[in-house]
């Protein structure tokens, strides 16, 4: 997985806040889904949003991007309040979203899917860099989206946001339903992206996949953060996580 571009120095970003979510409420129609979410993500960190199905994890990602209905509270992205912005304006703050359903265009080739999203910031990866990171996609670049395996579709869904220049990546259930060898590949990709200075928020059901990747875990229950666990606290709080997550 050789990448030619020089790595960014993560140490230089230590403790620099990129995202702060404060008292975030979100609604779908009349349904009140998020009930005052609070969390912080610093530059270069990987954090997870953990919880049972229906807890509000995906809604939190969608609310950051303005993809829910009514929102209230504060979402500061790189020092800018985004709660009143439209989704396209929020994306241009340098955010890339990989939804659970992936959203691959079935009739377009893998490379056409890769080239489709517009840039949201400068410094996106080149196609050659992406193919160095995802050799499978290079081999399958002429194949239509419908012919790609689930793992190849997931790689493509991540790869296309790397082209856009986004440096804050929101990844929703990227390991779901995939073979263990593909899950391991995605773990290596996330580590590489972290080394390059990307900031990543992962919604994940597969705790074994997420645990070694993240600097910090936020556990969501009924639309609220009920537990925060740092990497250093993981062993000590494992019993508590088992209770909260049912793992």
- Identify how many contiguous H helices and E strands the chain contains and give both numbers: 9, 10
Task: Tell me the residue range of the domain where 98 lies.
Answer: 13-245
CA distance 113 to 210: 27
Nearest residue to 178 (alpha-carbon basis) of 139, 217, 239, 136: 136
Residue 102 lies in a domain: yes
Residue 7: pLDDT over 90 = no
Kind plus residue range of the DSSP H or E element containing 28:
strand 17-28
Other residues' Cβ atoms within 10 Å of the Cβ of residue 25: 17
Residue 95 lies in a domain: yes
Nearest residue to 124 (alpha-carbon basis) of 174, 171, 160: 160
pTM over 0.75: yes
The residue-averaged pLDDT of 152-171 equals 96
Selected residue with higher pLDDT from 103 and 46: 46
Residue 6 lies in a domain: no
Residue 1 lies in a domain: no
Selected residue with higher pLDDT from 247 and 10: 247
Mean pLDDT of the chain: 91
Nearest residue to 186 (alpha-carbon basis) of 120, 127, 98: 98
Q: What are the tens digits of pLDDT across the range 32-90? A: 999 999 999 999 999 999 999 999 999 999 999 999 999 999 999 999 999 999 999 99
Are the beta carbons of 60 and 220 closer than 8 angstroms? yes
Are the beta carbons of 215 and 181 closer than 8 angstroms? no
CATH number at residue 132: 3.40.50.300
Residue 5 lies in a domain: no
Other residues' Cβ atoms within 10 Å of the Cβ of residue 31: 10
Are the beta carbons of 151 and 175 closer than 8 angstroms? no
Q: What are the tens digits of pLDDT across the range 216-232? A: 999 999 999 999 999 99
Are the beta carbons of 204 and 216 closer than 8 angstroms? no
- How many separate domains does the chain show? 1
Residue 13: pLDDT over 60 = no
107, exposed or middle or buried, with CB in 10 Å at 0-12, 13-18, 19+? exposed
Are the beta carbons of 137 and 8 closer than 8 angstroms? no
């Amino acid at each position: 997985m050789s990448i030619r571009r020089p790595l960014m120095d993560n140490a230089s970003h230590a403790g620099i806040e990129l995202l702060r979510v404060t008292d975030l409420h979100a609604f779908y129609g009349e349904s009140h889904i998020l009930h005052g979410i609070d969390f912080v993500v610093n530059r270069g960190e990987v954090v997870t949003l953990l919880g049972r199905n229906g807890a509000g994890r995906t809604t939190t990602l969608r609310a950051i991007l303005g993809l829910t209905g009514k929102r209230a509270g504060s979402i500061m992205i790189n020092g800018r309040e985004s709660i009143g912005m439209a989704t396209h304006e929020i994306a241009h703050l340098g955010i890339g979203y990989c939804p659970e359903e992936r959203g691959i265009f079935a009739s377009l080739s893998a490379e056409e899917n890769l080239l489709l999203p517009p840039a949201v910031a400068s410094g996106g990866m080149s196609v050659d860099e992406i193919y160095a990171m995802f050799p499978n996609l290079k081999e399958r670049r002429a194949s239509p989206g419908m012919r790609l395996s689930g793992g190849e579709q997931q790689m493509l869904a991540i790869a296309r946001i790397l082209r856009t220049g986004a440096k804050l990546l929101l990844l929703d259930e990227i390991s779901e339903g995939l073979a263990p060898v593909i899950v391991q590949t995605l773990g290596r990709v996330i580590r590489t992206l972290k080394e390059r200075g990307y900031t990543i928020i992962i919604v994940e059901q597969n705790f074994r996949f997420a645990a070694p990747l993240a600097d910090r875990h936020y556990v969501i229950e009924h639309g609220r953060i009920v537990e925060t666990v740092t990497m250093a606290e993981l062993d000590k709080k494992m019993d508590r996580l088992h209770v909260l997550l049912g793992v």
